[in-house]
Amino acid sequence: MSTSALKPASPKASRHFDRHAWAAGYCNVERELTNEIIHPVKGKIPKELCGCFYRNGPGLLERNGQRVHHPFDGDGMITAIRFRDGEVSISNRFVRTEGWQKEEREGKFLYRGVFGTQKPGGPIANAFDLRFKNIANTHVVKLGNQLLALWEAAQPHTLDPKTLETFGLSTMDGVLKPGEPFSAHPRFDPGHHGSRRMVTFGVKTGPKSTVRLMEFSCEGENSGQLISSRQDNFKGFSFLHDFAITPNWAVFLQNAISFNPLPFILGQKGAAQCLSSKPGSRGKFLLIPRDCGAFAGQAPRSFEAPDGFVFHHLNAWESNESVIVESIHYPDFPEVGPKEDFLKMDFSLIPAGILSRCEINLVNQKVTTTSLSKQCCEFATTNPLRQGLSARYSWMAIAEQETGYAPLQAIKKLDLTNLDQSIWSAAPRGFVSEPLMVSKVGSNIEDEGWVMFLTWNGSRKGTDLVILKANNLTEEAIVELPISIPHGLHGSWVSE
Ligand code: CO
């Protein structure tokens, strides 16, 4: 590990990331720990850090000698790292989904995966089996007194925040119908309408799409209860993984992609492998008025989006007559072919995600796009208190090299006003996952606090917890975890 704060990443080192070290990060999680005390191997845990870092991601990538076709098909495993008075402990549990329990009992895959994992037996065994296994592997957040393990195509699973015991599939107190989609990307409104809220959505898609926008209370006795819900129909197929919020709007980007379900039905491909970019057509920004905002009850508005494809947004805010949204734009939809081995993929063929800002003028309908960095990035975040407001700083995971796609190996702090940057790098044998910005309690300095994330440490084939100072990315502490956790997805911080 090396710190290269305030220095640009070295392009030379970047082309020599260790591919074997990267591939070793796709392993099964072998143990479940309960409140095991862990100690830093470097630095000290800041005493002011008091709370829990929850993280979700695929924890099971192989069963009975069969590897998943794509890591996104791996069963969800929750890690909880608790901080109190400078002490840290770790617990982890697989989400006890119905599919995981059945497959544990039988010792083999019984379901097809959305990203192309097939049941044993070839296309004949897979054709016409259109069941989905809700793998609860994408994100974990706390709402009310429960944890939600999220997977966007179906209902959330609820868990005990302390023990990580799975309670089961949840209807959110009757808000959701059985099987109803519930996004894995809620946004937390820090209090633009008086108190903290969780804003989220569910999307049902086909030739036409229905987006349900929901807001839940996050404070006091009503925490976890639905505040508002609205539903809107849009023309065309929608792949909406994420969205952004402002005080008045929920901002979506409807990518220009099409879905041909035939190879899925015939057992040749996973459902997500049937998505492809729609030549000659462009995506759309969809702005849905929030029920608590100035445009409540009005129809959604639609604006032409730039070419390309977006999974994740950084943030959005309002300025005069515009809504500005910052997102990670890919030049094209990265397809996952049925015959490809993800561990052998040619990184030079994968499109790189570039952070860009789109200003949507609500009056003259014009959309102006500005690129904020040429470096491939993912998992960009702001200080949570700046959600929905213009933020000066962003933290993100980046490839070490300056252009083109490569695995994520470094953390960048980007000043969004002048594009100054600081970088902390784990290259060549370390690989980072999503960074969380934890702001210092009571501070109103935007970059005061910590950036926290897990890295796959290829040198020791294990997972490290890294805590950096948010303002300059210098190291506060590194903790070697007693379990190996595969490259993961999303997580959240809960203050105590
Ligand atoms: Co995501």
Question: What DSSP element (H or E) covers 311?
Answer: strand 309-319
Quote the ligand 1 centre to 184 CA distance (angstroms): 7
Question: What is the Å distance from ligand 1's center to 364 Cα?
Answer: 32
In Å, how far are 10, 70, 244, 381, 460 from 429, measured between CA atoms? 15, 22, 33, 24, 9
Ligand 1 centre to CA of 312 (Å) is 6
Determine the distance separating the centroid of ligand 1 and the alpha carbon of 363, expressed in angstroms: 31
Distance 42 CA to ligand 1 centre (A): 30
Q: How far apart are CA 187 and CA 250, in angstroms?
A: 10
Distance 73 CA to ligand 1 centre (A): 14
428 in Cβ contact with 412 (< 8 Å) = no
> Ligand 1 centroid to 43 CA: how many Å?
31
Give the tokens for residue 247: 């005080």
Q: Which two tokens stand for residue 328?
A: 């990670």
Task: Please tell me the distance between residue 359's alpha carbon and the centre of ligand 1 in angstroms.
Answer: 22
* Cα–Cα distance for residue pair 65/220, rounded to 1 Å: 48
131 CA to middle of ligand 1, Å? 23
The domain ranges of the chain are 2-137+158-169+260-495
Per-residue pLDDT of the chain (496 residues; tens, 9 = 90+): 333 333 334 433 445 688 899 999 999 999 999 999 999 999 999 999 999 999 999 999 999 999 998 899 999 999 999 999 999 999 999 999 999 999 999 999 999 888 888 888 888 888 787 778 999 999 999 999 999 999 999 999 999 999 999 999 999 999 999 999 999 999 999 999 999 999 999 999 888 999 999 999 999 899 999 999 999 999 988 889 999 999 999 999 998 887 877 787 777 888 788 888 777 778 999 999 999 999 999 999 999 999 888 999 999 999 999 999 999 999 887 776 777 788 888 888 888 999 999 999 999 999 999 999 999 999 999 999 999 999 999 999 999 988 889 999 999 999 999 999 999 999 999 999 999 999 999 999 999 999 999 999 999 999 999 999 999 999 999 999 999 999 999 999 999 8
What's the CA-to-centroid distance between 241 and ligand 1, angstroms? 6
pTM above 0.75, yes or no: yes
Query: How far, in Å, CA of 172 to CA of 161, rounded?
Result: 16
Encoded tokens for 123: 């296309």
Cα of 181 vs centre of ligand 1, distance in Å, is 15
Ligand 1: centre distance to CA 272 (Å):
15
Contacts of 351 (CB under 8 A, 6+ apart): 309, 330, 331, 332, 334, 405
**CA 216 to ligand 1 center in whole angstroms:** 20
Residue 287 tokens read as 């702005």
Distance 130 CA to ligand 1 centre (A): 24
Quickly tell me which residue has 């993984």 as its tokens: 241
Q: How do the residues of the chain divide into helix, strand and coil, expressed in percent and rounded to 5?
A: 10, 40, 50
CA 243 to centroid of ligand 1, rounded, Å: 10
The burial class, CB within 10 Å (0-12 / 13-18 / 19+), for 263 is middle
